Amino acid sequence: MNLTPDTSDAGSAALRARIQDRIDQKTKPLGSLGRIESLALQIGLILRSEQPLLTQPQVVVFAGDHGLAAHGVSAYPSDVTWQMVENFLAGGAAVSVLARQHGLALTVVDAGVRHDFAPRAGLLNRKIAPGTADALAGPAMSEVQCAKAVSAGRDVVRELPGNALLLGEMGIGNTSSAALLLARLTGEPIERCVGRGTGLDDIGLERKSSVLLDVLETHRGVEAPLQALAAFGGFEIAMLVGAVLQAVEQHRLVVVDGFITSAAVLVAQRIAKADGSSIVEGCLFAHQSDEAGHGLMLRALGAKPLLDLGLRLGEGSGAALAWPLIESAARLLCEMASFESAGVATRDEAPRVA
């Protein structure tokens, strides 16, 4: 199964050349739009078009609770997960405001929140269980639950319109899961992967690091990406993995938010490597967050983020903030005049001074 546009075959190489030539012929000095030019090229390659049109962009926030949160790895109680889901749906969260501002459809997915929500527009119930188990005592998810969550993430994407997907998450304790996945799948020391999450003080950060070190020891023999995902959780991360795999397989543009969504991409990338595929080329990384391990995560993926604003909110907020840059890059590729169409002289046509 080929999960991404194959940039190595002759067709993709030809498309790359045509898009690059189109960029170079725009009415500007060569390369003068900087990273916006490489962004436009990547958008064209992902959508397999010299004139890529971004249609019906979707923000999807996956939410789930974590059994590990009982060990004080977050500055906030687990109830904040369901309360924030309600805030998303009421339009009061940061991502809700940004989605409205930029005309982005917002869907919230209950992947495994410890709360029963009343059905309403904008909410999808895909609950696997009311929160994962305690990863310190055993696997956060069974292998069956993990597979079901990945499959559910794929199904969510299949059901959504459009060709652009902005991914976010909500789950008290999920920076711990992301840090554990980073440490286990890259070999980085857990101390370098752990951050303050929702705002832990120094004592809280020390406690969190100690707990996560014990979790890694509990699951010492777990190495494969899906096994690590099951061991460390959570349901929302597993659904994000499925969403990424499905979206890239369908050649949708995937805008990755922060630390937790990047952890899902890391797992998906390791799964894709099993059949020689790669998914990073199908993803745009919105920003580098202020969470300690995110820079390490991006380097492991070979990804260069669009923004660096010191964010650590999650919920897709960074992806929504990056959206105007992405939309601008696509529009410039499609709508900006060429030297020929505008009747503007090129550099080579400038008069020579004796």
Which one from 50, 159, 315, 349 is the annotated catalytic residue? 315
Q: Are 165 and 252 in contact (CB under 8 A)?
A: yes
Write down the residue that tokens 């959570």 correspond to.
234
Measured CA to CA, the distance from residue 350 to residue 21 in angstroms comes to 20
Q: Is 86 a catalytic residue?
A: no
Count of CB atoms within 10 A of residue 303's CB?
Answer: 18
Q: Which residues are catalytic?
A: 315
